[in-house]
């Protein structure tokens, strides 16, 4: 199955399943936006300047299955632990981050430092997937009145389509002396796709009876190290042993379909 067909299949599946299960749960829809910190083969690990500067943005559309309430009859279902503490979130999101080298080695006033500082990158990632959200406090009680908070944690999986771009201000990447030795043969500007694990912690704030504000801190780990367009030999360069991952702090608006 091609990437486009798989993407369309998952997206349509996310719409069809909720639509045809009206009698089992109610629906919530919303949008999220916020800064994305991308951790990759660009820059020094655990360096504050690197972590701050390699930050982009993300936007997304979300859909929730609320099992505690049934919109068809405007009534709550018989209470169980699952329907009072869990929701399923389907999401389509997009992130874009510009990348550069920062840290001790990029600050060196030598050829290696010059090469690192001249390297630039960008990655665009489109994600689609699902998460199971757990609310330790009652979802039903949260929905009764405005002004309350509902903290949650979640875990899920996404399929990600990435489009990286790496270049150097010194000239074409294939030209001798442009790239540091560790990156020669380890750069690709080809689009790709991969699975990712997603986990988050956050809270909802009850704005009105039919709307919430959500604040969510997310960690997303890709099953590929090519998302940023670079993949140095992990057996030689231990500092680049991890796959690409990101942290996304987003805020969103959720509306309950009545």
Look at residue 7 in the predicted model and tell me its pLDDT. 54
Q: How far is the C-alpha of 145 from the C-alpha of 132, rounded, in Å?
A: 24
Domain ranges of the chain: 30-257
Q: Is the pLDDT of residue 229 over 50?
A: yes
Q: What is the DSSP annotation of 55-87?
A: EEEEEEEEEEEETTEETTTTEEPPP-HHHHHEE
Look at residue 203 in the predicted model and tell me its pLDDT. 98
Correct CATH for 30-257 of 1.10.238.10, 2.40.160.20, 3.30.930.10, 3.40.800.10: 2.40.160.20
Q: Which pLDDT tens digit goes with each residue over 73-98?
A: 555 666 789 989 999 999 999 999 99
Look at residue 238 in the predicted model and tell me its pLDDT. 79
- pTM score of the predicted model: 0.87
Q: Which pLDDT tens digit goes with each residue over 100-131?
A: 999 988 999 999 999 999 999 999 999 999 99
- Cβ neighbours of 183 (radius 10 Å): 21
Q: Which pLDDT tens digit goes with each residue over 7-55?
A: 555 554 555 454 444 456 788 999 999 999 999 989 888 788 888 899 9
Look at residue 16 in the predicted model and tell me its pLDDT. 45
Look at 149-158, 230-239, 240-249 and tell me which has the smallest mean pLDDT: 230-239
Average pLDDT, the chain: 88
CB 62 within 8 A of CB 31: yes
For the chain, the distance separating the N- and C-terminal CA atoms, rounded to the nearest angstrom, is 37
CB 58 within 8 A of CB 34: yes
């Amino acid at each position: 199955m091609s990437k486009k067909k798989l993407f369309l299949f998952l997206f349509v599946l996310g719409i069809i399943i909720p639509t045809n299960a009206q009698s089992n749960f109610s629906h919530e829809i919303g949008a999220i936006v916020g800064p994305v910190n991308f951790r990759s083969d660009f820059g020094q690990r655990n360096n504050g300047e690197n972590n701050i500067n390699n930050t982009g943005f993300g936007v997304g559309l979300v859909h929730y299955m609320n099992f505690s309430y049934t919109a068809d009859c405007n009534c709550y279902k018989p209470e169980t632990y699952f329907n009072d503490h869990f929701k399923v979130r389907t999401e389509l999101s997009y992130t874009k981050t510009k990348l550069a080298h920062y840290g001790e080695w990029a600050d060196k006033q030598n050829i290696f430092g010059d090469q690192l500082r001249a390297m630039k990158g960008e990655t665009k990632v489109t994600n689609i997937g699902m998460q199971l959200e757990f609310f330790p406090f009652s979802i039903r009680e949260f929905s009764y009145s405005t002004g309350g908070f509902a903290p949650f944690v979640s875990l899920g999986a996404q399929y990600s389509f990435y489009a990286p771009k790496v270049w150097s201000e010194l000239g074409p990447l294939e030209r001798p002396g442009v790239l540091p030795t560790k990156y020669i043969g380890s750069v690709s500007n080809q689009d790709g796709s991969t699975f990712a694990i997603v986990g988050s912690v956050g809270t909802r704030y009850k704005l009105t009876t039919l709307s919430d504000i959500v604040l969510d801190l997310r960690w997303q780990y890709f099953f590929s190290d090519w998302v940023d367009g670079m993949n140095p030999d992990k057996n030689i360069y231990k500092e680049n042993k991890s796959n690409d991952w990101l942290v996304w702090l987003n805020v969103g608006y959720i509306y309950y379909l009545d």
